[in-house]
Amino acid sequence: MDAADLIWMNGEFVAWEDAKVHVLTHGLHYGTGVFEGVRCYDTESKGPAVFRHEDHIDRLFTSAELYYMPMPFSREQVRDATLELIGRNGLRSCYIRPLVYRGYGTMGLFPLDAPVDVAIAVWEWGSYLGDEGKKNGVRARVSSWRRISSDSLIPQAKASGQYLNSILAKIESHQTGYEEAILLDERGFVCEGTGENLFVVRDGVIVTPPITASILGGINRSAVIQIARDLGYEIVERDIARAELYLCDELYCTGTAAELTPIREVDDHTIGSGRPGEVTLAVQTAFEDALHGRSDRYADWLDPVPAH
Ligand code: PMP
C-alpha cells in the first residue's frame, strides 16, 4: 500500500503513521462501521477531481442512518475535509476511503453508547482487478456463498461487517484459480461481484439486476446505465438467471475500485469471443472519458480539488 502523508480523523489532520485506534474499538469487534470507496482522477479539464463525490457522501450518510449511527459531521464538512486532504497530500489521483465507525468506549452488542468516529484516508491505488484485467477481461466463478439477503442484513448499505460475505467469496475464487467471484441471491438469481455490479449483454441489449435485488446500488452502475442509454443502447433491469451468464455475448462489471472491467470467462465458459466485446468497449471508452474529464456531457460528475 502506498502511504500518503496525512489522514483526517475526527476533524484533525494526523500523520499517516499516527492514525491509530484502540484495540477495544467497537467496530473492530463487531463490524459496526460504514464506509465509501471513492476515486479522484487527474482530469484533463479540471485537474484533480473527485468522481460523483456528492453521491458517495449521500450513500455514506444513508448507510450510517441504516445502522443507527448519527453522523458527527455534516455532508459539507466531509466533502471539504476530503478535498483538503487530497490537496494537502499533494495527490493528483487517488482512492478515497471515508470510514464511519463505532469507536472506543463500550463493549457488548448494544452499540448506541459507543462514540461514532469518522476517518478519511487517501492513497494511490491502481484498478482493483488490475490494468491487464481492465483491458483483456478477468476470469470469474459463481461463488458457493450466497449474497447477504435483506432479511438478515441490509444489502443496500455499504457496511463494514457485511464485507465478510464478499471476503469469503473472494478467497474462494482466488483459491480455486479465478480472479473474481459472482454471488447469487438466495433464489439463485445473479447479484453482483465482491465489490462490483454486473452487466450482461445479449443480442445488443444490456441487462443488469434491479436495484430492488440484494445488490449495493453502485454509483458507477448508475453512471454506466446513463452512459449506455446516451449511447443509444437498450438497458433492462431484471432478474438474471445463472445460465444467462454462460449464454451472453458480453459481460462486464463496474465499481469504484474496479472501474469498468470486462469478464471473459465464467465457470470456465468463454464469454463471446473471449475478448471484450463491442458494447463493452463502447461503454468503457465513454466511461473512461467521463472519469478523466474528457467529456463535456458528464462534466458535472467531477468535483475539482481546489488548488493548494
Ligand atoms: N457492490 C458492492 C458489494 C460493492 O462493494 C461495490 C463497491 N462500492 C459496488 C457494488 C459498486 O459500487 P460503486 O460503483 O458505487 O463503487
Model confidence pLDDT, tens digit, residues 137-177: 999 999 999 999 999 999 999 999 999 999 999 999 999 99
223-230 long-range contacts (CB < 8 A, ≥24 apart) are 223/52, 223/254, 223/287, 223/290, 223/298, 223/301, 224/199, 224/254, 224/260, 224/283, 224/287, 227/283, 227/286, 227/287, 227/290, 227/298, 228/279, 228/283, 230/286, 230/297
Kindly report the CATH number assigned to the domain that includes residue 252.
3.20.10.10
Say yes or no: 23 and 64 in one domain.
yes
Q: Among 98, 123, 148, which residue terminates a domain?
A: 123
Domain count of the fold of the chain: 2
Kindly report the CATH number assigned to the domain that includes residue 63.
3.30.470.10
What per-residue confidence (pLDDT) applies to 10? 98
Say yes or no: 222 and 238 in one domain.
yes
**Is 158 a residue of the active site?**
yes
Assess contact for 227 and 254: CB atoms under 8 A: no
Say yes or no: 287 and 214 in one domain.
yes
Check if 218 has its Cβ closer than 6 Å to any atom of ligand 1: yes
Q: Which of 20, 46, 135, 158 is catalytic?
A: 158
* Residue 141: domain span: 131-291
Say yes or no: 146 and 263 in one domain.
yes
Say yes or no: 140 and 287 in one domain.
yes
Assess contact for 214 and 148: CB atoms under 8 A: yes
Say yes or no: 282 and 139 in one domain.
yes
Confidence band (pLDDT; 50, 70, 90) for 128?
confident
Say yes or no: 155 and 248 in one domain.
yes
Task: Please name which of 295, 54, 66, 282 lies closest in space to residue 159, comparing C-alpha atoms.
Answer: 66
Q: Which of 196, 211, 226 to mutate to test the pocket of ligand 1 (most atoms within 8 A of CB)?
A: 196
Confidence band (pLDDT; 50, 70, 90) for 126?
confident
Say yes or no: 136 and 278 in one domain.
yes
Say yes or no: 71 and 148 in one domain.
no
Distance CA 203, CA 185 (A): 25
Question: What are the backbone dihedrals phi and psi of residue 78, each rounded to the nearest 5 degrees, phi first?
Answer: -65, -40
> Based on the number of CB atoms within 10 Å of its own CB, is 176 exposed (0-12), middle (13-18) or buried (19 or more)?
exposed
Interface confidence, given as ipTM, is 0.99
Q: Among 123, 149, 179, which residue terminates a domain?
A: 123
Instruction: Please give the model's pTM, rounded to 2 decimal places.
Output: 0.97
Please provide the average confidence, as pLDDT, over all residues in the chain. Answer: 97
